[in-house]
């Protein structure tokens, strides 16, 4: 058996893919993440409010999601809720982070792999030189500015506090956000799917996934030529703990199952080849992320595509791209609601209590999927802190019974570039994966 080690480019942090080849196919795959973050250990012994400043620094890509999960966990431990105004602003900023993540992931991380297969695509998708690369950077940057407008800064904002927020959005900020969303929707319709809004909506609910246009059509054409339509399948089990874009629950064999329990989530010890720890729900591996959310929400075209191709690489990519539209529409709705409560209080409490005890969980849907924070507070001090990231669900390693989700998706492939593409469809982030 031949072993090939690949230091992966375009990764947040450092990761190495080990492929074990036999008879021209990948017979085994290991994702080696050698780093460690240690933030949970750093938090122990500190005042619980420190978590709001430290946890956003877990990751430079989805730090906002970590802030939201931390704030929710603290609120759960204190048994308080944010004001309606604060909840809406949090939903907006968190979802803006999801949007810019989706755009960057497709154009800056995934599409450059197509250039390796077909050099003729370099002028469109090549890193730093491609026309679409530059356009994607521009639209993603405008979304990032909108996040900073509502949260004070980006990355590593700490404006969410127990009971609310510290920022005070203005009517002018709302107008600016609407302009950003209009530009994003124009980019999405003209370039990503290549349709007018009416045509797109009809296609989304009643059309065939094969009739997509725009950059998604180019992606699909290359995948068909490379025989990738059914590649990248894993366990075909999906999970989502938060309900911002649809119901929470898990999706197995075309059935939606609700009511998840945090106590059924188990973080296991890392195997010897990586520092990352696998995560299981009731002992089973689950995939999380946009495909999970789309299936639980019942998006017609994704359900039809999944019925035909299962949890393949192409379905995973389609689900994440189409979520751009879903999330943008959600933000528009929340923005209209925010206008009605703009002058309300930003926080439900005057100041956080000092001497407090409690255990709290916070779950949010980050761009990559379910993110969970758990905090235990004793006399106002953090006694323990646990972070379970989407990358642990998807890219975590094997345990005694099961391969990791991404590891299994790589088995049977015949080309190294295909392995990198499929691994990238899970959006590899090593700094979020390790401890």
Which of 234-244 are b and which e, b meaning 16 or more Cβ less than 10 Å from the residue's Cβ?
Answer: bbebbbbbbeb
Confidence of residue 84 (pLDDT cuts 50, 70, 90): very high
Chain mean position to CA 101: 8
φ and ψ at residue 279, rounded to 5 degrees: -125, 140
pLDDT value, residue 414: 95
pLDDT in tens, 108-139: 999 999 999 999 999 999 999 999 999 999 99
Q: Residue 356's closest CA among 369, 375, 339, 341?
A: 375
Least confidently predicted of 11-20, 88-97, 404-413: 11-20
Q: Residue 248's closest CA among 293, 301, 303?
A: 293
pLDDT value, residue 349: 93
pLDDT value, residue 434: 63
Residues 365 and 239 sit within 8 Å (Cβ to Cβ): no
42 pLDDT exceeds 80?
Answer: yes
Q: What is the pTM of this model?
A: 0.95
4 pLDDT exceeds 90?
Answer: no
pLDDT value, residue 82: 97
246 pLDDT exceeds 90?
Answer: no
5 pLDDT exceeds 80?
Answer: no
**Strand segments (E) across 330-429:** 358-366, 369-378, 381-388
Confidence of residue 13 (pLDDT cuts 50, 70, 90): low
254 pLDDT exceeds 80?
Answer: no
In the three-class reduction of DSSP (H, G, I as helix; E, B as strand; rest coil), residue 104 is classed as helix
29 pLDDT exceeds 70?
Answer: yes
71 pLDDT exceeds 70?
Answer: yes
Residue 192 has what DSSP assignment? I
Residues 54 and 39 sit within 8 Å (Cβ to Cβ): yes
Could you give the strand order of the β-sheet that contains 249-252, starting from the edge strand earlier in sequence? 237-240, 249-252, 255-257
Residue 191 has what DSSP assignment? I
12 pLDDT exceeds 70?
Answer: no
Q: Does domain 2-433 have CATH number 1.10.760.10?
A: no
Packing angle, helices 313-341 and 214-225, rounded to 10: 160
Residues 410 and 31 sit within 8 Å (Cβ to Cβ): no
256 pLDDT exceeds 90?
Answer: no
In the three-class reduction of DSSP (H, G, I as helix; E, B as strand; rest coil), residue 161 is classed as strand
C-alpha torsion angle, residues 191, 194, 196, 197 (rounded to 10): -70
Least confidently predicted of 8-17, 260-269, 381-390: 8-17
Both tokens assigned to 32 = 């080696």
Q: Residue 422's closest CA among 401, 405, 403?
A: 405
In the three-class reduction of DSSP (H, G, I as helix; E, B as strand; rest coil), residue 240 is classed as strand
Going by C-beta distance under 8 Å and a sequence separation of 6 or more, which residues neighbour residue 335? 92, 174, 177, 178, 181
Going by C-beta distance under 8 Å and a sequence separation of 6 or more, which residues neighbour residue 340? none
DSSP alpha helices (H): ranges in 363-433? 390-395, 405-409, 416-425, 430-433
DSSP alpha helices (H): ranges in 6-121? 39-43, 51-54, 63-78, 84-104, 111-117
pLDDT value, residue 2: 81
Going by C-beta distance under 8 Å and a sequence separation of 6 or more, which residues neighbour residue 38? 435
Q: Rounded to whole angstroms, how far apart are CA atoms 242 and 365?
A: 6
Confidence of residue 408 (pLDDT cuts 50, 70, 90): very high
292 compared with 275, residue with greater pLDDT: 292
Cα-based distances in Å from 115 to 122, 218, 311, 351, 386: 5, 12, 24, 53, 40
pLDDT value, residue 354: 87
pLDDT value, residue 242: 86
Residue with tokens 């323990």: 384
1 pLDDT exceeds 90?
Answer: no
Both tokens assigned to 293 = 């959310």
Angle, alpha carbons 109-110-114 (nearest 5°): 125
Instruction: Give 12's Cβ-side CA count (13 Å radius).
Output: 24
Going by C-beta distance under 8 Å and a sequence separation of 6 or more, which residues neighbour residue 164? 82, 83, 85, 86, 345, 346, 347, 348, 349
Domain ranges of the chain: 2-433
Handedness of CA 128, 132, 135, 136 (dihedral sign): negative
Q: What is the mean pLDDT of residues 274-291?
A: 94
pLDDT in tens, 147-167: 999 998 888 888 999 999 999
pLDDT value, residue 36: 76
Cα-based distances in Å from 232 to 228, 359, 419: 8, 39, 8
The end-to-end CA distance of the chain, in Å, is 32
Residues 70 and 374 sit within 8 Å (Cβ to Cβ): no
284 pLDDT exceeds 70?
Answer: yes
């Amino acid at each position: 058996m031949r072993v090939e080690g690949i230091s992966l480019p375009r990764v947040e942090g450092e990761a190495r893919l080990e492929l074990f080849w036999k008879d021209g196919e990948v017979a085994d795959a290991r994702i080696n993440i050698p780093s460690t973050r240690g933030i949970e250990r750093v938090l122990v012994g500190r005042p619980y409010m420190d978590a709001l400043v430290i946890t956003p620094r877990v990751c430079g890509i989805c730090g906002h999601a970590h802030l939201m999960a931390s704030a929710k966990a603290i609120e759960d431990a204190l048994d308080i809720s944010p004001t309606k105004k604060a909840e809406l602003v949090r939903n907006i900023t968190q979802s803006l982070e999801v949007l810019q993540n989706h755009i960057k992931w497709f154009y800056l991380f995934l599409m450059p792999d197509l250039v390796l297969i077909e050099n003729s695509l370099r002028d469109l998708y090549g890193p730093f030189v491609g026309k679409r690369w530059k356009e994607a950077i521009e639209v993603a940057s405008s979304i990032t500015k909108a996040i900073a407008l509502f949260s004070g800064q980006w990355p590593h904002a700490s404006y969410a506090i127990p009971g609310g927020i510290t920022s005070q959005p203005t009517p002018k900020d709302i107008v600016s956000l609407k302009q950003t969303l209009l530009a994003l929707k124009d980019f999405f319709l003209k370039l990503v799917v290549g349709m007018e809004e009416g045509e797109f909506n009809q296609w989304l609910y009643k059309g065939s996934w094969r009739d997509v246009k725009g950059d998604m059509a180019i992606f699909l054409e290359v995948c068909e030529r490379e025989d990738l339509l059914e590649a990248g399948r894993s366990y075909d089990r999906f999970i989502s703990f938060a309900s911002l874009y649809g119901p929470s629950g898990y999706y197995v064999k075309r059935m939606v199952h609700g009511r998840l329990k945090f106590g059924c989530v188990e973080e296991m010890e890392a195997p010897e080849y990586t520092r990352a720890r696998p995560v299981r729900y009731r002992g089973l591996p689950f995939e999380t992320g946009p495909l999970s959310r789309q299936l639980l929400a019942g998006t017609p075209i994704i359900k039809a595509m999944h019925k035909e191709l299962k949890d393949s690489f192409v379905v995973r990519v389609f689900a994440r791209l189409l979520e751009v539209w879903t999330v943008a529409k959600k933000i528009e709705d929340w923005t209209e609601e925010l206008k009605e409560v703009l002058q309300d209080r930003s926080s439900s409490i005057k100041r956080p209590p000092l001497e407090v005890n409690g255990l709290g969980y916070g779950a949010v849907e980050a761009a990559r999927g379910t993110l969970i924070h758990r905090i235990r507070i004793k006399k106002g001090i953090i006694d323990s802190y646990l972070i379970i990231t989407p990358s642990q669900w998807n890219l975590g390693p094997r345990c005694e019974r099961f391969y990791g989700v991404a590891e299994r998706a790589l088995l049977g492939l015949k080309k190294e570039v295909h392995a990198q593409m499929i691994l990238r469809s899970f959006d590899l982030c090593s700094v979020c994966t390790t401890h």
